[in-house]
Amino acid sequence: MFDMDGTLIDSIHGWVVSYKKFLKQENLQETLELFKMLDGKKLIKKCEIIKEYFNLPLSQMEIYKRCLVFVKEGYDNDFKAKDGVIESLEYLNDKGYKISLNTATKMEVCKGALERLNLLKYFDYIQTCKECGFLKEDERFYEISIKRHGENASDILFFDDNILPLETAKKLGIKTCLVFDEITCKNYFDSFKLSDFKLNKISIDSLKSIGL
């Protein structure tokens, strides 16, 4: 089981800066105060803060959809697979492993990158939060994943660059691997102890090092 953003595709920066593009489009200045208010927040929350900070007539969702346009452009044209990912997926596919993509990003937003990078062929199935109806912080997301894999939870390994999904999956007995990303987990990568494995990057050698 693989997460997508920050794990397989180098897309986190595009999500982070999308609100900046919205501000530029609206000729709005990001102050230091606003930067601190937005730091570490998810995009949907950033949009709420921006609306209130500038007293904009746009709704939170209207701002969010505007930001998503910039994110989708990144998937369609710019975001790349992280170094070593394509070779690693090819390696796992050749070894006969069942491979799935488990992401919070809607397919209509990210499909352009999956097609452009020729990644779709590696996945036995793709599970999104929208498609299954549960967030990745919800155990029911992983109950569905286990059924779709058709394996015991302990025989499934989940790769993600965020700790909350990993902690949730682990409650159901799924083995977990924290994957380093410069933006999402740099500050806690070394100190986090609850995953079964940690990888600085996904590569054939790193996969072999954890028994795959």
How many CA atoms are closer than 13 Å to the CA of 193, on its beta-carbon side? 1
Nearest to 14 by CA among 85, 53, 67, 88: 67
In this structure, what are the phi and psi dihedrals at residue 49, rounded to the nearest 5 degrees?
Answer: -65, -45
- The token pair at 166 is 């990993």
pLDDT at 86: 98
Query: What pLDDT digit, counting tens, does each position of 26-77 carry?
Result: 999 999 999 999 998 999 999 999 999 999 999 999 999 999 999 999 999 9
Say which amino acid occupies 84: G
**Residue 185: how many other CB atoms lie within 10 Å:** 20
pTM as predicted: 0.94
pLDDT at 95: 97
pLDDT at 195: 96
Dihedral angle of Cα 123, 94, 197, 174, to the nearest 10 degrees: 50
pLDDT at 167: 97
Low-confidence spans in the chain with pLDDT less than 50: none
Burial of 57 (0-12, 13-18, 19+ CB in 10 A): exposed
pLDDT at 96: 97
Beta bridge partners of 197: 177
